[in-house]
Amino acid sequence: MSAPAETVPADRLAGEVLLDMLDRGFRHFPVISPTGSVLGVIGDSDLVEVQTHSSFSLRRAIARATDTFELAKAAADLRPMIVSMHRASVAPLDIEAVFSIVSDALTRRALEFALAEAGEAPVPFAWLALGSQARREAVPSSDLDSALVFLKGDDPALEVDEVLRPYFATLAQRATEILVACGFHPDEHRASASDPLFVRSLDSWQAAGRSWLEDPTQDKALVLTSVLVDSRPVFGSAVGEMMNETFRPAREHPALLRMLARFSLSHRPPTGFLGGLVVEHSGEHRGRLDLKEGGALPIVDLARWAGMATGVTCASTPERLRAASEGGILSREDADTLIESFELVSELRLDHQTAQLMAGEEPDDFVDPSELSGLTRTYLKEAFRAVAAVQHSISNDLTFGVR
């Protein structure tokens, strides 16, 4: 076995242990008691149904791919893996985390191929996953959000960003092309390492971050802060962790936090005046409910603000909400309400997208409410009302200067 052994405590949740196994590439962990004695060994087959083993074989296929063609062939099994896990009744948030972890593995392999073509990087760098992949909440319809950060190094010739940026911009563009060939979609809002705006030195990123913290009224400061605080290193973790520290002092900037709080209220749950569900009124999705814009984003935005107010940078939405509750930013009741609502929306999104995948359709977030059971519609309406109530409470506090 590998040494030193990766171990888990006996009270750790099975789903979390499964994610640790997948992330670290192991299929067995010794289980340790509070006193340090070995209670036994847990294997992946003890944790999940046999169908979900495809996530481990897929990760191995990605690692063994010898060229971009083989990588794309391996990536073709990513969506069937989601269907298998859904059929095995794996929890929706665990499915999203596994999907994100395997997407990380694909990204790393794509970067390795891009580096082989471009030549060795002149300085250390990190590829950052952004958005839902960074939070480990990606679903089949998710875009590929990313950024690249590099160190300048000790060579005076490499002190100017313009000397290094062309190399890394070309590298990022090639890696993105490989990932697109693997079935991913670049972010439609251009939050991608393939865009020169998102390829910078660590000094440049940190200077921009400090500027946004100190003066959040700048053009796009709130948007870019929200994008970059959801960043997690997929390649080059040491450089990426330095990047994450940029936004940790956010809780020391009350003006920024107030503006972020108001910004987080811009997405409202789709409930009408009489409590009905508000659907799209025109376009190709007419008569359908947008579960991402109206369901997930209001909670994700609130969790991001509350997490930053607690000193938490990138983390999952439930983790941010729990931290905000422990830090006194949100009440325990409000945090639990948002977590439960987020879990419901995640379940409905995966139910909908899995059905689309099985039908050979491209997944999206637009659901016809009439196709939901009466009980599910009731739960969804109650969840939206509860989220709206939390938003209203936060809005009142901001109006009267409480926050």
Do 199 and 168 touch, CB atoms closer than 8 A? yes
Question: Residue 261 burial by CB count (10 A; 0-12/13-18/19+): exposed, middle or buried?
Answer: buried
Write out the residue range of the structural domain in which residue 303 sits: 253-403
SS3 123: coil
Q: How confident is the model at residue 112 (pLDDT cuts 50, 70, 90)?
A: very high
Instruction: Give the number of C-alpha atoms closer than 13 A to the C-alpha of residue 61, restricted to the C-beta side.
Output: 18
The pLDDT of 154-164, averaged and rounded, is: 61
Residue 107 included in any domain: no
pLDDT at 65 over 90: yes
365-378 residue pLDDT tens:
999 998 999 999 99
Residue 264 included in any domain: yes
Higher pLDDT, 375 or 10: 375
Measure the CA–CA gap between 185 and 146, rounded to whole angstroms: 11
Residue 339 included in any domain: yes
Q: What is the mean pLDDT of the chain?
A: 88
Q: How confident is the model at residue 345 (pLDDT cuts 50, 70, 90)?
A: very high
| Domains in the chain, number | 1
Residue 238 included in any domain: no
Do 303 and 261 touch, CB atoms closer than 8 A? no
Q: Which residues, in sequence order, are CB contacts of 140 under 8 Å at separation 6+?
A: 79, 82, 99, 353, 357, 363
Measure the CA–CA gap between 143 and 187, rounded to whole angstroms: 5
SS3 186: strand
Q: Which residues, in sequence order, are CB contacts of 374 under 8 Å at separation 6+?
A: none
pLDDT at 38 over 80: yes
Residue 172 included in any domain: no
pLDDT at 387 over 80: yes
The pLDDT of 1-12, averaged and rounded, is: 81
Residue 53 included in any domain: no
Indicate the pTM of the whole model. 0.84
Question: Residue 303 burial by CB count (10 A; 0-12/13-18/19+): exposed, middle or buried?
Answer: buried
Residue 375 included in any domain: yes
Per-residue pLDDT at 51? 41
Q: How confident is the model at residue 240 (pLDDT cuts 50, 70, 90)?
A: confident
Do 169 and 118 touch, CB atoms closer than 8 A? no
Distance of CA 196 to the CA centre of its chain: 22
Per-residue pLDDT at 52? 46
Per-residue pLDDT at 35? 72
Do 246 and 206 touch, CB atoms closer than 8 A? yes
185-189, 240-244, 354-358: which is most confident: 354-358
The pLDDT of 247-256, averaged and rounded, is: 90
